[in-house]
Amino acid sequence: MAPHNTRTHITTHILWIFSSLLFLSTSLPTEPSPSAPVDPTTACHVTPDPTFCRSILPPGGSHSLYSYGRFSLAESLSSAYRILTFIDRYLSDNTASQLSPTAIGALRDCRLLSALNVNFLTSTISALNNSTDALVDTTTETVQTLLSALLTNHQTCCDGLQAAAPSWSAQTGIAAPMFNSSRLYSVSLALFTKAWNPECRGGRYRGGFTPPRVRNPPPGRRHGRTLLFHELKRRLGRRLLQAGESTGVVLIADMVTVSQDGSENYATIGAAVAAAPTNLDGSTGYYLIYVVAGVYQEYVSIPSNKRYLMMVGDGINQTVITGNRSVGDRWTTFSSATFAVLGRGFVGVGMTIRNTAGATKGQAAALRNGADLSTFYSCSIEGYQDTLYVHSMRQFFRECDVYGTIDFIFGNAAVVFQNCNIYARLPLWGQGNTITAQARSDPNQNTGTSMQGCRFVAAPELAAAQGLVRTFLGRPWQAYSRTVIMQSFMDKLIDPRGWTPWSGNFGLSTLYYAEYKNNGPGSGTSGRVTWPGYHDIISSGDASNFTASSFILGDNWLPQTGVAYSSGLL
């Protein structure tokens, strides 16, 4: 199937992938102990680009992988600052006005992503400098998540600039520094991964949704907050509160209400988010924003400093957040989202998030999520092409509905979907559907898409087309694309081949696609693709690596959300 998506790969990135594949095809010496002194050549053998690695490590002498890792991270931080400074300078330059609105939008995306990268690297270096070489598993996993997102942010910036302003990239000379930064970030991730290798974790089942409870309201506010909470309980209903008695409570530090009629604290969601406290650490509970039923025509952004927010609506099709930005109307894919999240620990419950641009406008995201340890429960995410942008970091979706056509669950997060309904819609004439487009671009990224206990079915308008549209489980947006679908129901809409290429043979030997104990008329694997990276039969042990407890360390953070989850295999 010919690609329908207009996202493109920059030539330099393809060349880098080629060199990585060439490196991986050769035999390597035994990897050194992370604490043993080794020369730079030996240290660089653990990276995808040994030649570039040797060019940035200090020549001569011997150091441990720990030391080389810290050195490369310091170099990466300097590079991230240079990129951010360049973008800032150009956005403030009068010549920026000569660019198209889409190009300006791509630069602004890069500005946001580059600032995040500076923060990610600063946090990583601080974590390593304030500890011994041996890190606890959770810290190791967090740092690897940050460094994986570092590469993803940078790739998003590169792709956006290449699509929107290719001539500008060439004229300003930004292409070469961007390419070198990409290689540097990859080296840093590889050295970190080899030196601080995380161990495997097991898991167990947890279930139910725990009702929020106000914890120790300040004097003088207890009565009003208690009344608000009882109203919240009444509106949420028993379906969401069924496990509160057995699993404890969700701690709520404070709570506000949004209602369009002006009768509550705020009339818009954006105003409530803007007034929320910054940099909460979650220890005293969530800041809860309750959104009364209504159709909210606004673009909601949860910035990175708005942490541990919980947003609860009155239910799917009751609390509706809607917008219509699209690439067809000169927005970037990244900035087209109706609802965008960056703040760590976000929880969204009982909402519909829509992009109504339609199938004719191309990429148009409803939800873009780049928030670490974020959760969506009982939400509906609706669009056509590129509906749900699971951009980066660790994410969890439970009992959600996702509607779309082309690549409608895409991105490079480490994300687990459980008990979700995946609805393929009717695309434009001549197009087919691809459900996932996972974007893992580096073999050391801890990212991928895992779908467990889900239902893959046709939306009513597609069902009425009577099999005239081919629907595939996914295709590789980047070379190391990783998607696992297990213990799920696949209706007859799924094409017997299951998966489709992005372009030619790109990524077919380096991707990891797997299916495990699925059922339904579309789940048979006898007619599936025969790519080197596709696995039609995997063991329960391999499948367990993609469960909530193992893949996103869910046992460490999902219980505090109150959202139901299965820790291991069903």
Q: Which DSSP string corresponds to 131-163? A: S-SS--HHHHHHHHHHHHHHHHHHHHHHHHHHH
Report residue 325 as tokens.
């930005």
Look at residue 212 in the predicted model and tell me its pLDDT.
60
Mean predicted confidence (pLDDT) in 56-62: 89
Report residue 304 as tokens.
């990175």
Asked if the model's pLDDT at residue 371 lies above 50, the reply is yes
- C-alpha dist (Å) from residue 67 to 43, 62, 255: 10, 10, 46
Residues 151, 16: contact at Cβ < 8 Å?
A: no
The secondary element (H helix, E strand) that includes residue 454 is none
**Residues 81-119: tens digit of each pLDDT:** 999 999 998 888 766 667 888 889 999 999 999 999 999
Residues 374, 393: contact at Cβ < 8 Å?
A: yes
Mean predicted confidence (pLDDT) in 551-568: 95
Asked if the model's pLDDT at residue 547 lies above 60, the reply is yes
Q: Report d(CA 545, CA 347) in Å as an integer.
A: 24
Asked if the model's pLDDT at residue 76 lies above 90, the reply is yes
The secondary element (H helix, E strand) that includes residue 204 is none
Report residue 439 as tokens.
């974007």
Asked if the model's pLDDT at residue 15 lies above 50, the reply is no
Quick one: CA torsion of 139, 144, 145, 146, rounded to 10 degrees? 90
Q: What is the pTM of this model?
A: 0.90
Q: Lowest mean pLDDT of 213-222, 226-235, 430-439, name the range.
A: 213-222
* Residue labelled with tokens 């009629």: 261
Residues marked active site are found at 407
136 or 490, which is more confident?
490
Look at residue 250 in the predicted model and tell me its pLDDT.
83
Q: How many CB atoms lie within 10 A of CB 399?
A: 20
Residues 461, 453: contact at Cβ < 8 Å?
A: no
Mean predicted confidence (pLDDT) in 299-307: 98
Asked if the model's pLDDT at residue 30 lies above 80, the reply is no
Three-class SS of residue 35?
A: coil
Look at residue 290 in the predicted model and tell me its pLDDT.
96
Q: Report d(CA 275, CA 247) in Å as an integer.
A: 31
Look at residue 133 in the predicted model and tell me its pLDDT.
75
pLDDT exceeding 70 applies to what percent of the chain? 84
**Residues 139-168: tens digit of each pLDDT:** 999 999 999 999 999 999 999 998 888 877
The secondary element (H helix, E strand) that includes residue 357 is none
DSSP string, 468-528: -S-EEEE--SSTT-EEEEES-EE-TTB-TT-B--SSTTTTTTT-EEEEES-BSTT---TTS
**Structural domains of the chain ordered from first start:** 40-200 (1.20.140.40), 249-561 (2.160.20.10)
* Angle of helix 101-129 versus helix 65-92 axis, rounded to 10: 150
Asked if the model's pLDDT at residue 191 lies above 80, the reply is yes
Mean predicted confidence (pLDDT) in 508-526: 98
Strands 455-458, 347-349: parallel, antiparallel or unpaired by DSSP?
unpaired
Look at residue 167 in the predicted model and tell me its pLDDT.
77
| Number of helices (H), then strands (E), in the chain | 15, 27
Asked if the model's pLDDT at residue 533 lies above 90, the reply is yes
Asked if the model's pLDDT at residue 27 lies above 80, the reply is no
